[in-house]
Amino acid sequence: MSAEAGERRYRVVVNDEEQYAIWPVELDRPGGWHDVGVTGDRRTCLDHIERTWTDLRPRSLRERMANAG
């Protein structure tokens, strides 16, 4: 299924924990997810995420660890 999905258009979305994902443009965004403003084919979206999402830890964990010193 995923291999043939190259022609679909997606957008890059992110949740409050700063986790990224791609989502088909024609579907409603699920609750708790926001657009980052990038749409395109699968490759374009994933490339953006590869560059942007540098720390896979959820934001709340990152903050907790930073505060713990």
Partner 1 sequence: MNDTALLHRLIERQAAERPDAVAVTGDDAELSYGQLDDQATRLAHRLIRSGAGPETPVAVLAARGADTVVALLAVLKAGAAYVPVDPANPPERVGYLMRDSGASLLVAPRRLAATAPSGPWTTVTFDVGSADGAPAAPLPERVGPDNAAYIIYTSGSTGQPKGVVVPHRQIVRSTLANREFGRPDPDCFLLLISFAFDACAVGLYWTLSTGGRVVVPSVDDLRDPLALRALAARHQVTHLDCTPTLYSLMLADAPEPLATLRCAIVGGEACPADLVERHHRLLPGCLLVNNYGPTETTVWVTSATVTPTSDGPVSIGTAIRGARTYVLDEDLRSVPDGVEGELFIGGETVARGYHGRPGLTAERFLPDPFSTRGERMYRTGDRVRRLPTGELEFRGRFDHQVKVRGFRIELGEVEAALAAHPDVVEAVADVRDLGGTATLVAWARSTAAGTDEILHQLRERLPAHMVPSRLLLLDALPRNVAGKVDRARLPDPAGPAVPAGDEPATPLEAEVAELAAEVLGLPVGRSDNFFDLGATSLHLSRLLLGVMSRFHVSVPTHQLFRVPSVLGVAQLVEAARRLEDPDATGTWTLDELAAAGELDADIHPGGLAPSTWFGPRHVFVTGATGYLGAFLVKELAERTDATLWCLVRAGSEDEGIARIRAAMSGYRTWDQAYLSRIRPVVGDLSEPRFGLSGSAYERLGRDIDVIYHSGAVANFMYPYSAIKRTNVDGTAEVLRLATTGTLKAVHHVSTIDVLVGSGIERPYREDVEMVARTVPEGYARSKWVAEAFARQARDRGVPCSIYRPGLVFSHTRTGATQLNDYLLVEIKGLLDFGIGPDLEYRLPVSTVDCVSQAIAHLSTQEHCLGGTYHLWDPEPVPVQSIFSWIRSFGYTFDPVPFETVLKRLAELDPDSPVLPLLPLFLDEERRLRTESFAAGDLTAADREVECAGTLAGLDGTGIGSAPLSEELAHKCFQYLVDVGFFPEPAAQRARVAAHDQVVEWREPEHVG
Residue from 57, 66, 64 nearest 18 by CA: 57
- Would you count residue 58 as binding partner 1 (CB under 8 A)? yes
What is the SS3 assignment for 22?
A: strand
- Would you count residue 36 as binding partner 1 (CB under 8 A)? no
Query: 27, 69 in Cβ contact below 8 A?
Result: no
- Would you count residue 64 as binding partner 1 (CB under 8 A)? yes
Give contact residues for partner 1 (rule: CB under 8 A). 1-3, 12-13, 15-17, 19-24, 27-33, 42, 45-47, 49-50, 52-54, 56-58, 60-61, 64-65, 68
